[in-house]
Structures are given as C-alpha cells and as structure tokens.
Amino acid sequence: MYNSKIIGLGHFVPEHIVTNDELSTMMDTNDEWIQERTGIKERRWVKDSGDTTATMGVKAAKVAIERSGIDKDEIDFIIFATLSPDMYFPGPGVQVQEALDIKTVGALDVRNQCSGFVYAISVADQFIKTGMYKNVLVIGSELHSHGLDKTTRGRGVSVIFGDGAGAAVLTREEDGSKGILSTHLHSQGEHAKELVVEAPGMGTRWVTDIIEEGNADDESYFPHMNGQFVFKNAVVRFSEVIMEGLHKNSLEVTDIDMLIPHQANLRISQFIQRKFKLEDHQVFNNIQKYGNTTAASIPIALTEAWEEGKIKSGDTVILAAFGSGFTWGSVIMKW
C-alpha cells in the first residue's frame, strides 16, 4: 500500500478587502467588538471581479498544478470541497475539469463545510493508498459574501466569513514513512441545526415556497449559528481528533512542528495552542486577514505557511477542522 503526499499548493483570494470599519457602515458593529470575539481584522469579498466559487478554485488549482511539476493531464481525479457551489447541481468539480481542459477524469464534490478540505484530503489519500489513482487534485473554495445577511440582524455571523480558494495536488509516495500518515473523521448529526442554513432544501422549503410566502423576515436561507455552543464543542473535538492522530502514529504533542487549524475563530485556535502548550511558530493562523473561508481556510493557510518557509522537509504537520454537521477531522503528515 502507498502513502500520498502533497507536491503542489496554491491559493487565490479576491482583491476586494472589507475591513471591520467598513462593516460598521452596514450594521451595528465596530472593529473592537469583532476583533474581541473573533480575532478578525478584515476579510476578502468578491465584488466586481465576476469570480465564483468554481473560478476561484480553478485559479488556486492552476498555481498548485504548476508548483507540483506535473502536467494537468496527469491528474487522475478531482475533489472539490465547498458549501457554496455556483449551481445547486451539478457541483463545481466538473466545472474545474472543463476549465482546466483535463481529460474526462472523475470529479467528486464534498459538502462537509468547515471540515470539507480535511474530508476531501482523506478521500484523496484513500484513492492513492489503494493504487486506484496516482495524482489527485483537491480544492476547497467558498464564496460566502453573496449569501450573508449584511444587516444588524445577521452581524453575529456575517462579520466572520470571507471568500477565497485553496488547492493541493497529491501524488503517490513509495516511502511509507513520508506523506500523509493517517486521517481521522467524525460526525455528530444531533447538533446539525446549531450551525445551519435550513432553506432552500429539497423535501423541506424549496425556492418556490420562499417566493410564494414572500416573508421579509424569513431568516431560513441565511446562516444560523449558536456561537457559544459551537465554540464549546469545537475546542473539545479539536483536541480529541488531534490526539487521536498523534496516538495512531505513536507521536507526542512535542513532535508537532506545524498545526494548521481550520480558521473558524482565532479564539478557538489560541485555546488549542494554550492547551497543547505550543509556541507561536508551531501554529499558523491567518483568519485575521481573511476571516473564515470554510472549506478554503486550511488550504489557504497551508499554502501561506509553506510559502513563508514555516514548513520544512521532515516536519510533522497536522491539519484539523471542526464545523457544521457537526463534523470534524484531522490529517497527520510527515512533510
């Protein structure tokens, strides 16, 4: 059985920067309130560029493929993680296949929200481990800004989210001590409605129902989050799934060279850092400038950490995420 390893990384974020002060002109909020609760100073929102979830994913993928050193036609499979597809169906995976003019390989869409990239990496890893595919393109991309309630009513959620994309190319690794050592995935559906967009949904309230009702106060198609409840669960599950990965590979907390947590809230990342007694150079955060980009947050952060030379050959790197579903997971890698 093979291991998989990442050989190319790329990311893309829109040029338009939205500061906390700018948000204060749309809703009753301020820079101090947002930074105190989330750590976020600014985020990127698509404005006039015409970018979509798929096009941002394509831009990130082009960088990752170029850096991987392989030709696009060597890609055997595409996995696209997002909660904000361009169309209800089909998903953006096939849009990437067309835009990159890749041969008719399979394209899979993953809908696991904040943990989407971790789930997608795990799927890619299994395909490579079993020998089914050699080179897999994994993308996480989100366009949140078009679907947020940018009023005081929605400020608790809307100030958090940003737009962007990240991508990775994984390939076969013959040396079993290198690459992705293990992945760990979990879910707890009983808490699904604590972080949710309820409508539109097949079998519940579809677009036609919303239009017919014409209820200006309907919040079902905006994100709802029970912030305190999510925070309390996140810090527990982050810790558990990181330790699960370490124990699986006979590693200790002291073996961690770089932890890339999902950028949900800087306070969550700081809590985990303190709990594991990690130094600043062992944890990478960029939520301060991008906000929460959901499935894109880990590949954007991973790319930036690598670009800045904070990840080196032989390092033990951990990816960890928690989000809607609830779903959570971790990836343990030897770089």
Is the Cβ–Cβ distance between 286 and 301 less than 8 Å?
Answer: yes
State the burial class of residue 253 (Cβ atoms within 10 Å of its Cβ: 0-12, 13-18, 19+).
middle
Q: How far apart are the C-alpha atoms of 203 and 8, rounded to whole Å?
A: 40
Instruction: Kindly list the distances between the CA atom of residue 150 and the CA atoms of 112, 200, 222, 267, in Å, as whole numbers in the listed order.
Output: 24, 19, 10, 23
**Residues with Cβ < 8 Å from 200, sequence gap 6 or more?**
206, 207, 209, 210, 221
Residue 292 known to be catalytic? yes
The Cα-based distances of 188 to 113, 148, 179, 235, 313 in angstroms read 14, 25, 29, 15, 35
Q: Is there a catalytic annotation at residue 262?
A: yes
CA angle in degrees (0–180, nearest 5) for 330-59-155: 65
Identify residue 122 by its one-letter amino acid code: S
Catalytic residue among 114, 184, 265, 286: 114
In the residue annotation, 20 being an active-site residue is answered as: no
Q: Which of 66, 123, 116, 72 is nearest to 92 (CA)?
A: 116
Pairing mode, strands 179-187 and 327-334: antiparallel
Residue of 11, 262, 265, 286 marked active site: 262
- The Cα 162–Cα 159 span in angstroms is 9
Distance spanning both ends of the chain, measured CA to CA: 19
Residues in the chain: 335
Q: Which residues are catalytic?
A: 114, 262, 292
